[in-house]
Every structure is written in C-alpha cells, then in structure tokens.
Chains A and B, each alone.
Chain A
C-alpha cells in the first residue's frame, strides 16, 4: 500500500487508485497431487515493475499463467483492476487482452506477417476495422523499432526481432499489465539488448510489468522490486539492492550468487 501511495505522490499528478492493480492472495495450484504454488501473496501497484526470480521449477511460469487463467488456480483469489479474475462469470477474453503476455519462445503465428500477428486480436477481439487495426499495428511495430519489418514473416526475422514483434502484439491491445515469462532466455546474447530496450521503453511509458527473468543487470537498473520464489512460495522480496546486495535468507543468497556467476 505504501508503495502505491508513494507512486501516486511522485507520479504525473493524476489520481491513482489506492488499491494495487494486481492483488494475489493465498494462491494455490496443484497438478494432480503435486502442489506447485503453496499460497502466494503478491500485490503489484500501477506503474510498478516487479521482477520475479527463482530456480527452475519453483513455479514462476505457473504463477504468471494463473493470472490470465491459462492455468486454473486451485485456490486463493486474484484481483485485477478491481475485478475478481477467478470469478465464474467473468469475461475471460476481455480480461486476457488487458493482460499482455510475452513468452520465452515468442509464439508468433508463422503463417502471418509481423503486421498480421499484431493486428489479429485488434480485428477479432476488439473488432477494429482493418485500416484502423493496421494503423494501430504499425504504431506498435514502430514502438519496438520494427515498422520496416511489417511485411516479413516470423521465419524471416531474428529471435530478437520475433520477440519484439511479440511484445508489439501484446502492447497493441493497450493492456493494463504486461507479463513476461523469460522473454530473453531463448535469445543469443547479442540479441538480448534489443528486447530489453523495448521493455525499458515500455516501462518509461508507464506500463505495469511483471517480469520473470534472470537478467540481473536489467533488474538492478529497472526493477522497483524483486521477488524471490522457491519451491512454490515467495521466500523474500524487496528492492533490487536488498535482494542482490544483502539478501536476508540463505536460499536467496545461494540463488543470487549462483546466478551472478
């Protein structure tokens, strides 16, 4: 709560809602008998960039996927922008387009051009006429520096370019929150920078972001908060200096020093 009020005090002067944009309480998720999320509490304020780190298998992807119900949580509650996400009667498709998601493996549609990828949901979900969808789509591609690749197919683009198209595809829908699941993990090192730059620009534009990533330099520079997860629980969270500089828990310390090597 204090973070939210700080943000609104230091923000552009517009009134921000006092409540978090995303509020998770006691979230549980099991696959069969295996409990993957064991009671997660996490709140993300408007405009905040939260970094989610943790060892492989700790449940980070599952957590993100519960937010837009690509995975159904087994218990707990999720509030997004004043709406109860896990409610039975929610319009899940309307909700999903307001939570952009970027995947490790890009998942661009190979049979459509970059512009086609970006405009599909604009046309079919938001029912924009083609011309308007293409105008918005071109602006989104412009935003990630790829307007000149609008007519290219994913197979003709580098991994970094594909991921930026995927970012444009999500951001063109004007989501209130962007979820990134290891957006740079599948990229060659020399291509990582361009994707991080696109994310930096997004942050500068005021987007609320929840990022699973092990790009520690980026986290130190851009994150408002770092959350360390292990074994389906949040072990520790705090500003990047704390988590990377003087973690309180042994598990955090071990993980951070492992990743920093």
Chain B
C-alpha cells in the first residue's frame, strides 16, 4: 500500500510538479477552446452551405468528411506536422494540433448537424416558405433551431472526445497536460504526475459536461 501511494500519490512530487501540470492544463484549455469554437462553427457552416447548395458541394464535402472521420487523428497530426515542411510550409506544433483537431471536429459536427436538418419535417419548411420567408430565413429561424436541438447531445459527446485528443499534441511537442506529465514521469520515474494529469482532465471536463446538460435542457421545449 505504501509503495502504491508512493508511486501514484507522492506528496513531494505533487508539490514540485503541480506548476508544470497547471501550465499544461492552461495550454490544453487554450487548444481545446480554439478547437471547439472553430470546429463547431466550421461544421455548422458546412452543413448550412450543404443545405443551400446542390450536389456539386455535397460530393467534395463527403470526401472531406469521410477522410477526417476515418483516418486516426494521430496519423493526421503526424502527417501534417512532418509532411508540410516538405512542401515549404512550416507550422508551429500548436497550430498543427489546432488545425487537425478543428477539421476532425468539423467533419463530425457537419454530419451531426446535417442529420438534424434532414430530420426536421418537410412541412416546417413549406409552412415557413408559404408565409414568404426566404430559404435562408427558413433555415435560420425554423429548421436550424429544431436541428440543433437534436444535435446538442451528439455534439457534446464529440466536443468531449476531441478535447481528449488534445493529448496527441504530446507527440509533436505541444506542452499540454500529458506532455508535462510524461516529462515529469521520465525525470522522476514515478507515476504520480500522470495521476495529476488525469485529475487535471477531470477539472476540465466536469464543467463541459455540465454545460452540455444545461444547453440540452434549455433546448428541450415542450412538444406533443
């Protein structure tokens, strides 16, 4: 038991490592916030453009969506980080992680929002158009709010999943939580920093889950 406590909850190590873990948490929060904002907005925009545009947009979009949903994010991160310099584009590791995770989240979000859009009954669209609303107004005020209500739960899950993927930044040297924790582990030979890292993720996710539930309940208007 003492050995267990010593290797997972070493008080001295906690005291010396927490500033590093905390700075990792800050970096993780920064990336996660950026990724969630750009990924969700891009996914939403893609679904809306797909709604307004025809086939010509749907086909290339499907290619993008399937690619970014199928290939493991780790592979994408490595590919972009080590591949882009070969064609003369040097991106900092932070930017690579942001870009890749945003595109992955956008791909999932587009499909989720699209599924919501086509689940809204056709009659809603017709009723709106019959009162003189334009196609775009119909989308914004009538169809999209109903689609988003269906999309909130799966979008929340995707947001949590993509935030966890910020840990991939460690392989390209982004100083996020796991990077800080594994560095501390290799210096100390003790697993305590990893447990601190896990704790840092809990700190991060509990508010996100709570926020998701709050949005869900706000969206749950009374239905027949």
Using a CB–CB cutoff of 8 Å, the interface residues on chain A facing chain B are: 68, 70, 93-97, 99-101, 103, 105, 107-111, 120-121, 124-125, 153-156, 166, 169-170, 173
13 pairs, A vs B, C-beta closer than 8 Å: A70-B129, A93-B133, A96-B132, A99-B130, A100-B130, A103-B123, A107-B127, A110-B221, A111-B146, A169-B131, A170-B131, A173-B131, A173-B132
Q: How many A-B residue pairs have CB under 8 A?
A: 76
Q: State whether A120 touches B221 (Cβ < 8 A).
A: no
Interface residues of B in 98-137 (CB under 8 A from A): 121, 123-124, 126-134, 137
Q: Which residues of A contact B172 (CB under 8 A)?
A: none
With A155-B221, A155-B222 already in contact, the answer to whether A109 and B130 are too (CB < 8 A) is no
Q: Which residues of A contact B132 (CB under 8 A)?
A: 93-97, 121, 125, 173
Q: State whether B133 touches A109 (Cβ < 8 A).
A: no
Q: Which residues of A contact B121 (CB under 8 A)?
A: 107
Beyond A105-B123, A120-B128, 13 additional pairs, beta carbon < 8 A: A93-B134, A96-B132, A103-B126, A107-B123, A108-B127, A109-B127, A111-B145, A121-B131, A154-B224, A155-B224, A166-B127, A169-B131, A170-B131
For residue B147, give the distance in angstroms from its CB to the closest CB of chain A: 10
Q: State whether A96 touches B131 (Cβ < 8 A).
A: yes
Q: Please classify the interface of chain B as helix (H, G, I), strand (E, B), loop, or mixed, using the class held by over half of its residues.
A: helix
Nearest residue in A to B132 (C-beta to C-beta)?
A97
For residue A161, give the distance in angstroms from its CB to the closest CB of chain B: 11
Q: State whether A68 touches B130 (Cβ < 8 A).
A: yes
How many residues on chain B are close to A (CB under 8 Å)?
A: 22
With A120-B141, A153-B221, A156-B222 already in contact, the answer to whether A107 and B133 are too (CB < 8 A) is no
For residue B144, give the distance in angstroms from its CB to the closest CB of chain A: 10
Q: Which residues of A contact B130 (CB under 8 A)?
A: 68, 70, 96, 99-101, 170
Q: State whether A120 touches B123 (Cβ < 8 A).
A: no
Question: Could you tell me the distance between the alpha carbons of A100 and B224 in the complex, rounded to whole angstroms?
Answer: 25
Q: State whether B127 touches A103 (Cβ < 8 A).
A: yes
Q: Which residues of A contact B224 (CB under 8 A)?
A: 110, 154-155
B12 at the interface (CB under 8 A from A): no
Q: State whether A155 touches B131 (Cβ < 8 A).
A: no
Question: Could you tell me the distance between the alpha carbons of A169 and B146 in the complex, rounded to whole angstroms?
Answer: 19
Q: Which residues of A contact B142 (CB under 8 A)?
A: 109, 120
Q: State whether B133 touches A125 (Cβ < 8 A).
A: yes
Q: Which residues of B contact A120 (CB under 8 A)?
A: 128, 131, 133, 141-142
Q: State whether A111 touches B133 (Cβ < 8 A).
A: no
Nearest residue in B to A126 (C-beta to C-beta)?
B132
